[in-house]
Structure 1
């Protein structure tokens, strides 16, 4: 029986720094497990347009993006959820009132709001995008403004009481630390994406594996019996069944070898 492996990107497949390195051992491990007949999937908070070509070149059978709001298998889109346009506009106005810094993430691009504060975290985010050649011209005023999920940075003047009271009605709020929050429509997560794929392919949960390194990976790590934390991500160790070595110490290769997936 073939197995299926779900990979986070940042801090798992790619180093989470300006180098954005994919270790050679990671490339080899993915090629070997696919040669063995196992399936490999990306399962990321990134929306579909923001999966880099160098990640795609590793070889994947499908993609779960935007924390389960977009699912693709073998080139076919199985699910794509975008928040209704009127609701997108309402939330954009609310974020201005909350005085937080949002980035609105759509499967086809990002949208920004010049009428909100520019925090240091946001500035660093923009620098990374500009350096990567990603289009940063989208604005909430655009006619095609819409999003599948969104993130915010807070500052000392942010009204987080208002933010939580309103956003928790329709979104899961994921605290990523350092005043950075990821907001995903209720009913969607990395775990729901896994469920859709397992049902579609008829693969038993016992043959499903997930590898991640951060708190937004917890839904997928807790959705499968074979959960793997990257070395160095101590904050999620007690949620997983196995801890591998750090990403640059052959973490992916050692994890797949431990579970006899290569």
Structure 2
């Protein structure tokens, strides 16, 4: 049955919002609060920079109604893929070569797998590769994997000149999200967490007044700016805190449950 205009859409970022940066787990309080919100007829969606291939069992078992993945490149509702944008396979070889020529390290993120280059000097990229390679619930490959397919990618440039050269060539094709610390997410132009919400609002016929989003970092800004009720975690960046309509507690201090209670969603 199609939801009515009175239902609520609630969007949750993952890292730093439902998943603690300290324990790397989702608390029992957060899991229970999401379930309680759903029991009251609300729709709970992930809205994340992670692609489908980066959805671990620990996240999926929470039981969300669906998700906006890869910064709006893939939208899923109850297991059905409603929307999916991938980077053209024809441009992948040139894109990879340009990344290497500009001395930019990158992780390529798809819906079916995550792809790594042979070597990384950036410690963050190296740690991500190590963590992912040691997970049983992630499918991983290399840049040379046959039939490689990805939706977005993360980059760590070694110099401003290299970043500028790459950005100037691809700025009409991709949006570059500055995550700080010399880390950027690169997403097909026009895709964002906000466009994912707009798509689901139309698909489920949900009023703008009934939209909520919880986040903590710069890639959450589009969705927080789009919804009626924007919620910043207590551990959010100052930029996120300054524009949100409500500041909840830290992710490690039951911030999700606190926010949902505040808005009487549970």
Secondary structure, counterpart of 1:159 in structure 2: helix
Secondary structure, counterpart of 1:178 in structure 2: coil
1:127 equivalent among 99, 124, 130:
130
Give me the TM-score of the superposition, normalised by structure 2: 0.93
Q: Deviations over 1:204-241 (max 9, x none)?
A: 01101000000001111111010000002133111110
Superposition RMSD in Å: 1.6
Aligned equivalent of 1:194: 197
Secondary structure, counterpart of 2:17 in structure 1: coil
Deviation at 1:45, TM superposition (A): 0.6
Deviation at 1:135, TM superposition (A): 5.2
Q: Deviations over 1:135-163 (max 9, x none)?
A: 57512222212211011112248612201
1:13 equivalent among 3, 15, 18:
18
Instruction: Quote the Cα distance in structure 1 between the aligned partners of 2:33 and 2:149.
Output: 37
1:152 equivalent among 143, 151, 155:
155
Aligned equivalent of 1:118: 121
Instruction: Quote the Cα distance in structure 2 between the aligned partners of 1:148 and 1:136.
Output: 15
Aligned equivalent of 1:258: 262
Deviation at 1:46, TM superposition (A): 0.5
Contact 1:99 1:158 in 2 (8 A): no
Aligned equivalent of 2:60: 56
How many residue pairs were aligned? 260
Unaligned runs of 5+ in 2: 1-5
Aligned equivalent of 1:37: 41
Instruction: Quote the Cα distance in structure 2 between the aligned partners of 1:38 and 1:251.
Output: 18
Alpha-carbon distance change, 139 to 131 in structure 1, aligned in 2, over 3 angstroms: closer
Alpha-carbon distance change, 43 to 120 in structure 1, aligned in 2, over 3 angstroms: same
Unaligned runs of 5+ in 1: none
Give me the TM-score of the superposition, normalised by structure 1: 0.94
